[in-house]
Amino acid sequence: MNGMDAYIEYAISALLVIGGLFGLVGSFGLLKLRDTMQRLHAPTKATTVGVGSALIASMAYFMLIEGKTSWHELLITLFLFLTAPITANFIAKAHMHLAIREEDMPATGVGTDWATYDPEMEVVDPALLEPVQRN
């Protein structure tokens, strides 16, 4: 193995370690933070760089060591960016429904309710909530 390869491997290893550290911090945040909304911040943030650097390490490894180009990592990044905000939003809304009263929220300042609490935003057909008849 020549000198250049060694440096490439150092760089890839560094990326993997950084990724692992950020994943660890995200998990530690789940333990340390005090309520659901605070905990929501830990995994959605601290892990994007964690996953990101693992993916960059993977791309760099295949490109520079194996000599093949791999593009799947870009797609993983794309799908992560599309899904992470939506998951976070769903968890936040579910938590608001279950654990936070509307009075404890700041006002919107424009006269209407927050959509989660607004009875007029109820779009679920009541028939759907009734238990399905089974034989």
Looking at the Cβ atoms of 8 and 114, the one nearer to other proteins is 114
Looking at the Cβ atoms of 10 and 32, the one nearer to other proteins is 32
Looking at the Cβ atoms of 5 and 41, the one nearer to other proteins is 41
Residues in region 8-37 near other proteins by CB under 8 A: 22, 25-26, 28-29, 32-35, 37
Return d(Cα 71, Cα 135) in angstroms, integer. Answer: 50
Asked whether the beta carbons of 62 and 69 are under 8 A apart, the reply is yes
User: How many CB atoms are located within 10 Å of the residue 13 CB?
Assistant: 12
User: How near is the Cβ of 120 to other proteins at its closest, in Å?
Assistant: 7
Asked whether the beta carbons of 16 and 60 are under 8 A apart, the reply is no
User: How many CB atoms are located within 10 Å of the residue 105 CB?
Assistant: 13
Return d(Cα 135, Cα 132) in angstroms, integer. Answer: 10
User: How near is the Cβ of 102 to other proteins at its closest, in Å?
Assistant: 11
Residues in region 32-91 near other proteins by CB under 8 A: 32-35, 37-38, 40-42, 44-46, 48-50, 70-72, 74-75, 78, 81, 84-86, 88-89
Return d(Cα 82, Cα 48) in angstroms, integer. Answer: 12
Asked whether the beta carbons of 12 and 60 are under 8 A apart, the reply is yes
The residue ranges that bind other proteins (CB under 8 A) are 22, 25-26, 28-29, 32-35, 37-38, 40-42, 44-46, 48-50, 70-72, 74-75, 78, 81, 84-86, 88-89, 92-93, 96, 105-116, 118, 120-121
